[in-house]
Amino acid sequence: MEIHLTTPLKTEDLEKLKIGDQVYITGTIYTGRDAAHKRLVELLEKGEKLPFDAEGQIIYYVGPAPAPPGKPIGSAGPTTSYRMDPYAPALLDVGMKAMIGKGPRDQTVIDSMIKNKAVYLAAVGGAAVVVAKSIKESKVIAYEDLGPEAIREMKVENFPCVVANDVYGNDIYKAGVEEYKR
Amino acid sequence: MREVNVKDLIPIVKKLCIDANYYIGEDIISKIKEFKEKEESPTAINVLDILLENYELADKEQMPICQDTGVAVCFVELGQDVHMVGGDFTEAINEGVRQGYEDGYLRKSMVDDPIIDRINTKDNTPAIIYTDIVSGDKIKITIAPKGGGSENMSEVKMMKAADGIKGVVDFVVDRISRSGGNPCPPIVVGVGLGGNFEQSALLAKKSLLRSLTEKNPDPKWAKVEDEILEKVNNLGIGPQGLGGRTTALGVHILSKPCHIASMPVAVNVQCHAARHKSAVI
């Protein structure tokens, strides 16, 4: 199925998603990877506010290449998600509704998605120019010192991804392999 | 003795960094097309089409194929009749990397300290440089940018002779099975056999420089490569780990003699963006 979603995400929209659905996202998304996640979770542990309102939002695991002249962003495909597994549940607990990355998540994150009615979306790793075409604006909103790992606010149009984990605990990485292994 | 000014290496290294990141090898494109013909999963076919579209776009738009433009791994074959003048050789390579990553709008992915500080060096240096002294008066430089996602799935195992070839095959297949969708399949599997602990890892990395359309010159190893490839593609992992028949595009083995007590085996996993470009000076 092809589904178009706009941010901020609503729980009833996410409840309709099934693993394998092709999703196109339009609206604002936030970026963060290892170093930014560490800082975000440290803020939450101290009871401080995040640099953006997490409610219904999407975090995209990416460290983009610098923007060439005339382009809003450089190549910007997903990074491997398991490195964010230790941090992801804390962000879902404060209202984030989706993560975009590549590769499977651990059971703690899957359980947190079920509990918080959140989803994990897979973008195609290494298809970084294709993905960048859907990013129309990008600006650093926190942790500029981290360089490519800084948190960016991006405006996206029809950002392509596939539902990898739905709100019901299904996992495309297990189901897909089961179907094709010999 | 031929004199080479190290400053002349800077623009060459710069161009190799940019070209390797913008232009994928024809061997990757032809292998992906070949595997797409045999692929059974519609999701997998869609992913392979997106990868092919991305290589074309990267070339056309002059942008890196992947945002992870990697550690700049630099292989140098230095002719023993060359005399370097005009400065420091290592610094010249690093200056070429610095200029390539800045002027090519490539991502800077190196941190200064691996554990505690992890502060980005902001220019993608230092490069990781391996130098072999060879006969002649030429210098061959290869830049092979290596992404972190696939590198993280690599492993060295000190096996025992009793494990035999079956042990090696099982270890490699298990390593890929445990990697799943993490290293951006379809992958290339580099396998280093023999030598010692660190040489096996270097052999695995060097094996990735072989073209995917070239067979292993040793029929004995070519057969093992085919066996591992078939087993890996039977795992069902598929492109991006979403399920399918195309998990690896090739398996490359390089071997060296080793100690009577040892049987080192190294697996270096390479994502589909298997990038390397060379120049001879």
What is the rounded CA–CA span in Å between residue B71 and residue B127?
7
Q: What SS3 class is residue B10? A: helix
Looking at the fold, whether B245 and B121 belong to one and the same domain comes out as no
Looking at the fold, whether B207 and B84 belong to one and the same domain comes out as no
What is the rounded CA–CA span in Å between residue B133 and residue B143?
17
pLDDT, tens digit, for every residue of B17-45? Answer: 999 999 999 999 999 999 999 999 999 99
pLDDT at site B220:
97
pLDDT, tens digit, for every residue of B76-119? Answer: 999 999 999 999 999 999 999 999 999 999 999 999 999 999 99
The residue of chain B nearest to residue A123, with distances taken between CA atoms, is B240
Q: Which residues pair with A151 in a beta bridge?
A: A142
**Dihedral over Cα of A56, A60, A66, A68: its sign:** negative
Looking at the fold, whether B69 and B161 belong to one and the same domain comes out as no
pLDDT, tens digit, for every residue of B218-249? Answer: 999 999 999 999 999 999 999 999 999 999 99
ipTM over 0.90: yes
Looking at the fold, whether B153 and B136 belong to one and the same domain comes out as no
B107 to A133: CB separation less than 8 angstroms, yes or no: no
In a domain, B50, yes or no: no
From first to last of its 182 residues, what are the pLDDT tens digits of chain A?
789 999 999 999 999 999 999 999 999 999 999 999 999 999 999 999 999 999 999 999 999 999 999 999 999 999 999 999 999 999 999 999 999 999 999 999 999 999 999 999 999 999 999 999 999 999 999 999 999 999 999 999 999 999 999 999 999 999 999 999 99
Assess contact for B199 and B192: CB atoms under 8 A.
yes
A129 to B120: CB separation less than 8 angstroms, yes or no: no
What is the rounded CA–CA span in Å between residue A3 and residue A50?
29
Looking at the fold, whether B100 and B195 belong to one and the same domain comes out as no
- Helix, strand, coil percentages (3-state) for chain B, rounded to 5, are 40, 25, 35
Looking at the fold, whether B172 and B252 belong to one and the same domain comes out as yes
Looking at the fold, whether B204 and B249 belong to one and the same domain comes out as yes
- The band of B2, judged by pLDDT with boundaries at 50, 70 and 90, is very high
In a domain, B40, yes or no: no
Nearest Cβ partner of A75 from B41, B67, B271?
A: B67
HSE toward the beta carbon, residue B46, CA cutoff 13 A: 13
A176 to B63: CB separation less than 8 angstroms, yes or no: no
Pick from A65, A77, A82: nearest CA to A125: A77
In a domain, B52, yes or no: no
In a domain, B227, yes or no: yes
Domain count, chain A: 1
pLDDT at site B177:
98
Tokens of A111: 């359980």
The residue count of chain A comes to 182
Residue B137: give the domain boundaries: 2-20+65-146
The residue count of chain B comes to 281
Which residues does chain B have within 8 Å of residue A129's beta carbon, measured at their own beta carbons? 54, 57-58, 61, 63-65
What is the rounded CA–CA span in Å between residue A120 and residue A109?
9
Mean pLDDT of B129-147: 98
Q: Which of residues 1-60 of A touch B (CB under 8 A)?
A: 20, 35
Which residues does chain A have within 8 Å of residue B51's beta carbon, measured at their own beta carbons? 124, 126-127
Pick from B281, B249, B2: nearest CA to B142: B281
The alpha carbon of residue A83 is apart from the nearest alpha carbon of chain B, in Å, by: 10
Looking at the fold, whether B112 and B239 belong to one and the same domain comes out as no
- Domain stops at, among B146, B165, B187: B146
Alpha helix segments (H runs only) across A54-182:
88-93, 107-116, 128-132, 172-180
Residue A104: give the domain boundaries: 2-180
Largest CA distance in chain B: 59
Question: Choosing from A33, A37, A97, A105, which is the catalytic residue?
Answer: A37
pLDDT at site B260:
98
Buried b (16+ CB within 10 A) or exposed e, A89-125: bbbbeeebbbbbbbbbbeeebbebbeebbbbbbbbbb
Q: At residue B71, what are phi and psi to the nearest 5 degrees?
A: -75, 135
The residue of chain A nearest to residue B46, with distances taken between CA atoms, is A124
For chain B, how far is it from start to end, CA to CA, in angstroms?
A: 14
Nearest Cβ partner of A129 from B44, B57, B68?
A: B57
Which residues does chain A have within 8 Å of residue B65's beta carbon, measured at their own beta carbons? 75, 126, 128-129
- Domain stops at, among B131, B146, B161: B146
pLDDT at site A152:
98
pLDDT, tens digit, for every residue of B44-86? Answer: 999 999 999 999 999 999 999 999 999 999 999 999 999 999 9
Domain count, chain B: 2
pLDDT at site A1:
77
Looking at the fold, whether B13 and B137 belong to one and the same domain comes out as yes
Which residues does chain A have within 8 Å of residue B64's beta carbon, measured at their own beta carbons? 65, 74-75, 128-129
In a domain, B26, yes or no: no
Q: Which of residues 76-105 of A touch B (CB under 8 A)?
A: 76-77, 79-80, 82, 102-104
What does pTM read for this prediction?
0.96
Mean pLDDT of B195-206: 98
In a domain, B157, yes or no: yes
Looking at the fold, whether B136 and B194 belong to one and the same domain comes out as no
Looking at the fold, whether B88 and B126 belong to one and the same domain comes out as yes
Looking at the fold, whether B223 and B164 belong to one and the same domain comes out as yes
pLDDT, tens digit, for every residue of A127-179? Answer: 999 999 999 999 999 999 999 999 999 999 999 999 999 999 999 999 999 99
What is the rounded CA–CA span in Å between residue B198 and residue B203?
9
User: For residue B153, how far is the Cα from the chain centroid?
Assistant: 13
Under 8 Å CB-to-CB from B145, ≥6 apart: which residues?
B17, B20, B21, B69, B70, B71, B72, B73, B275
The alpha carbon of residue A50 is apart from the nearest alpha carbon of chain B, in Å, by: 22
Residue at B105: amino acid letter = Y
Tell me whether residue A4 is one of the annotated catalytic residues: no
A181 to B63: CB separation less than 8 angstroms, yes or no: no
What is the rounded CA–CA span in Å between residue A171 and residue A167?
10
pLDDT at site B54:
98
User: At A66, which CATH number?
Assistant: 3.20.130.10
